[in-house]
Structure 1
Amino acid sequence: MKKPLILVTNDDGITAPGLRSLVLLMKEIGDVVVVAPDSPQSGMGHAITLDSTLYATKMSSDFGASGVEEYSCSGTPADCVKLALQELLERKPDICVSGINHGANSSINVIYSGTMSAAIEAGIEGVPAIGFSLCDYSWDADFSQAKAFITNIVKEALDHGIPKDVVLNVNIPRLKTEEIKGVKICRQAKANWKEKFDKRTNPMGRDYYWLTGEFELLDKGEDTDEWALANGYVSLVPTQFDLTAHHAIQAINNWNLK
């Protein structure tokens, strides 16, 4: 039997330690092809490149993991997946894994996440997909603590499949392996960023802005990703890309629309 073909991507860039760790883990499971941005693309969401050229540079064999085909892409995370599926891969991958992201992509952060947008792009194309994030923004974070959980989740997804039109959003707490209580299937917590702009002036007299803000959890439920992470669990949220608010259709049908 053929080994599963695993597409690996991310939003932190092809040299990011989180991606390098994920590549080594996936090599233990199947054949790996990497298509990842050539520079950090955090917060890009589902942006795609429309008004400029895209490049995909095949990396030299001594760049990364032995036996892994790797491409550095000039585009966004979603571009990477599109290009991989349409041009670079010889066959459809059995699964796409995105990450391991440096920092959480729980609750409202999923909207902005390039990591999850790459996974969602794969899901749109009918490829089972998972986004992995570690709740540690440090560049030298210890990704080895997440190894057992990531390996188990990917193997289970390959064995059982992921429901149609669903991708998995997995966040791992910043804890040692033995301190993590297990994996909890969750819903996305209701939360927001209380944002403001730090206005400054450059030496030429021109105003500029830095986006700042504080995370605001608005959900006290014990079935959410934020609760799971705060209580020592890996959170796994089945995420869909059908954005229809089905519950609102009947109410809007009562409008006097002409």
Structure 2
Amino acid sequence: MKKQHSRPNILVVNDDGITAPGIKNLIEAVKELGNVVVVAPDGPQSGMGHAITIGKPMRFNKVDLYEGVEMYKCSGTPVDCVKLAVNKIFKGKKPDLCVSGINHGLNNSINVIYSGTMSAAVEGAIEGIPSIGFSLDDYAEEADFSHCLKYVKSIAQQVLDNGLPQATLLNVNFPKGNGIKGIKICRQANAKWAEEFDERQDPYGRPYYWLTGVFQNNDKGEDTDVWALDHGYVSVVPVQFDLTAHHAIPLLNSWTFND
């Protein structure tokens, strides 16, 4: 069991940008738990997944947005923010916790693959830092995060007190509204986006496309993140970044390959 004997250092990141309301609320939720350092993109980076900046320079500047909080804005991706924080701010001495969000919009089910919020948390876990991604089922700029904060603080405190299994992080999603019934530990639902591309024409008659789609849940289980959120619970899914399909290895070993 991991015990903190001094005030822990907490890295706060996001993908909606350093001025997003979600990160302000995340800072408020965790600042009593430790020394907060914020590194966030200088603008929205939603849907960036685990992208990193290669082949062009990044800007990394200190800013003063919230009193008593050390903050930096970065021209790169959410994952870049974590990498820069570890290397340039903490200088290899890892923070005790990395929290990402609070994202405007859910990152449940397959969304975890595309999410910049969750990829920042994954990068934290790759660096050996206990990490959590937080998201809310509300895309509005004026979204109300107030009902999330006590759960953010409680979950973050549990991770600080107990640590997480190696190579594991948490994906936490909040339903919209004040009627939260509690927390459910879940698995990721088997759900996906049925995507379409809306074709339009610019003033010169050239086609361009908007990505649209409908979220389809093919999983009827009552132990999934989709079910929990639909029924008013906070969903907490343990996530790993080892993408090996271990159950498929015996099948592949049964195949005959030509040398």
Q: TM-score, normalised by structure 1?
A: 0.96
Q: Which whole-Å deviations, capped at 9, do the CAs of 1:66-87 have from their partners, x for residues lacking one? A: 2111000000000000010011
Helix, strand or coil for the counterpart of 1:105?
coil
Confirm whether residue 47 of structure 1 aligns to residue 51 of structure 2: yes
Aligned residues: 253
Confirm whether residue 34 of structure 1 aligns to residue 38 of structure 2: yes
Helix, strand or coil for the counterpart of 1:121?
helix
Confirm whether residue 242 of structure 1 aligns to residue 246 of structure 2: no
In structure 2, what is the equivalent of residue 195 of structure 1? Answer: 195
- Structure 2 letter corresponding to 1:77: P
The answer to whether the 8 A contact 2:190-2:219 is kept is yes
Helix, strand or coil for the counterpart of 1:36?
strand
Q: Give, in angstroms, the shift of residue 254 of structure 1.
A: 1.3
Show the 5 A alignment for 1:58-97.
58-60=62-64, 63-64=65-66, 66-90=67-91, 91-97=93-99
The unaligned stretches of length 5 or more in structure 2 are none
In structure 2, what is the equivalent of residue 23 of structure 1? Answer: 27
Aligned identity (percent) is 61
Structure 1 window deviating more from structure 2 (10-19 vs 205-214): it is: 205-214
In structure 1, what is the equivalent of residue 113 of structure 2? Answer: 111
Q: Which whole-Å deviations, capped at 9, do the CAs of 1:9-57 have from their partners, x for residues lacking one? A: 0000000000011111111111000000000000000000012111111
Cα distance in 2 between the residues matched to 1:52 and 1:200 = 32
Select the residue among 154, 157, 160 that pairs with 2:162.
160
Query: Runs of 4 or more off by more than 4 Å in structure 1?
Result: none
Helix, strand or coil for the counterpart of 2:226?
helix
Cα distance in 1 between the residues matched to 2:90 and 2:128 = 15
- Structure 2 letter corresponding to 1:209: Y
Cα distance in 2 between the residues matched to 1:257 and 1:37 = 47
Show the 5 A alignment for 1:199-214.
199-214=199-214
Q: Which whole-Å deviations, capped at 9, do the CAs of 1:202-257 have from their partners, x for residues lacking one? A: 11222111000000001000000000001111000000000000000111111111
Q: Give, in angstroms, the shift of residue 195 of structure 1.
A: 0.4
Confirm whether residue 221 of structure 1 aligns to residue 217 of structure 2: no
Over aligned residue pairs, what C-alpha RMSD do you find? 0.9
Q: Which whole-Å deviations, capped at 9, do the CAs of 1:149-183 have from their partners, x for residues lacking one? A: 1110000110011111001000011120xx21111
In structure 2, what is the equivalent of residue 173 of structure 1? Answer: 175
Helix, strand or coil for the counterpart of 1:82?
helix
Q: Give, in angstroms, the shift of residue 2 of structure 1.
A: 2.6
The answer to whether the 8 A contact 2:30-2:152 is kept is no
Cα distance in 2 between the residues matched to 1:52 and 1:141 = 34
Select the residue among 100, 118, 141 that pairs with 1:98.
100
Helix, strand or coil for the counterpart of 2:141?
coil
